[in-house]
Amino acid sequence: MDILFTHGPMLVIIAGVVGFFMAWGIGANDVANAMGTSVGSKALTIKQAIFIAMVFEFAGAYLAGGEVTSTIRKGIIDAAYFVDSPELLVFGMISALFAAATWLLVASILGWPVSTTHSIVGAIVGFAAVGVSADAVEWSKVGGIVGSWVITPLISGVIAFVIFNSAQKLIFDTDKPLEQAKRWVPLYMFLAGFILSLVTILKGLKHLDFDIAFGDGILYAAIVAIAVALIGKVYINRIKFDENATNKTHYANVEKVFAILMIITACAMAFAHGSNDVANAIGPLAAVVSIVGNEGKIAADSAIAWWILPLGGFGIVAGLALFGHKVIATIGQGITHLTPSRGFAAELAAASTVVIASGTGLPISTTQTLVGAVLGVGMARGIAAINLSVVRNIVVSWVITLPIGAGLSIMFFWMMQAVFT
């Protein structure tokens, strides 16, 4: 306990630095793969993707990041094992952040889209099980999280498969694809606008002490989505194309329409990702600040300090801007050939899945959700459309992420103990 009184401010500063490092790693790896479909399909340039991420990742992290943060911070380990020695929990959370961030840096250099959720959960489990006690880990909750990693890629893959096939049947397989695109694309815009606005209203405003009933939230989201669809319809109708051009030219023109639509889905994906995955960086940081601020007491529930969510948001944006290009190339070009229509299907499916999971407070892997969606689009075109060697490397990187995170965390935990005790 004396350690927290003597070194409390220093421990908070260290936690803030490694928390920012972790958020930087999320930006370099996770946000990069979230934007990879937009850049890979050439719907957005890398500069445009970074700008969108700056606005919507930060908004998602700040407005709607609180609920998932509480799950990471309090759900994986049993705080009762740290009541008599809260400094061990502080050491452990700092070690977990440093371990996960280090692995994300290595994976980003190699261009591997690994799971930040795998990384931080593995790191927390590692220090708690080996450094304290195996009983300190809530294994049932860890099992539930692991189960979500299997289920969510499957859900996103099925949603992407359905969306892509609907676009094929309603637009691309018709005699007048451009005319059908002008008819149906506003509906897809409505869906994207509805998803984005619903999570903002139900989660973001709730986080800011606004209490809106679920039914009212759906109504408001529908109004926003209708406005988005109408604006999109007006914009699309203004586009002039040669009606007498060849079918190949018509298909290219339809893809241009979907490229416009992908801007909306990119915004939705960025917001959904920010609301869900910011917890991986600031959850452990919030625990450290809470324990030090409460003089070693591990509160059952406590408010997140005002500066923590912005720190996570800034770190995520910095990581993407400075180091995201390699993972963007893997997701956008490596798994399967993406066009704007295929990228749209993958992004909207992944955003839908992440929003659903984020609303329940369950920290899923955005990486696996998006890869599942891209695979779903690829499967709609047949197994030959998928680069299986790239998929194999991605899966291998997922498998080794959890044990590597745990191993690094244990090492850093022992180092922290040696330095401060």
Q: How many other β-carbons are positioned within 10 Å of the β-carbon of residue 349?
A: 29
**Cα separation, 192 vs 38, whole angstroms:** 15
**pLDDT of 106 over the 90 cut:** yes
User: Residue 141: its pLDDT value, please?
Assistant: 76
Region of poorest pLDDT, from 43-47, 353-357, 365-369, 405-409 = 353-357
Domain span at residue 38?
A: 2-420
- In one-letter notation, the amino acid at residue 386 is I
In this prediction, residue 360 has a pLDDT band, given cuts at 50, 70 and 90, of low
| Rounded (10°) angle between helices 177-199 and 340-359 | 20
Output the pLDDT for position 227: 93
- With bands split at pLDDT 50, 70 and 90, how would you rate the model's confidence at 412? very high
Phi-psi region of 114 (alpha: psi -120 to 50; beta: other; left: phi over 0): beta
Mean local confidence (pLDDT), 13-35: 87
Spacing of C-alpha 52 from chain mean position: 14
Percent of the chain with pLDDT over 90: 15
Q: Once rounded to an integer, what is the mean pLDDT over residues 295-311?
A: 72
180 vs 182: CA distance, rounded Å:
5
Encoded tokens for 158: 């099925």
How far is residue 350's CA from residue 30's CA, in Å, rounded to a whole number?
13
Tokens found for residue 89: 């929990």
pLDDT tens across 257-277, in order?
888 778 877 877 777 777 767
Chain segment 113-136, per-residue pLDDT in tens: 888 888 888 899 999 998 888 888
pTM of the model: 0.82
* Total number of domains constituting the chain: 1
Answer yes or no: are the C-beta atoms of 268 and 196 closer than 8 Å.
yes
Q: What is the mean pLDDT of residues 72-82?
A: 72
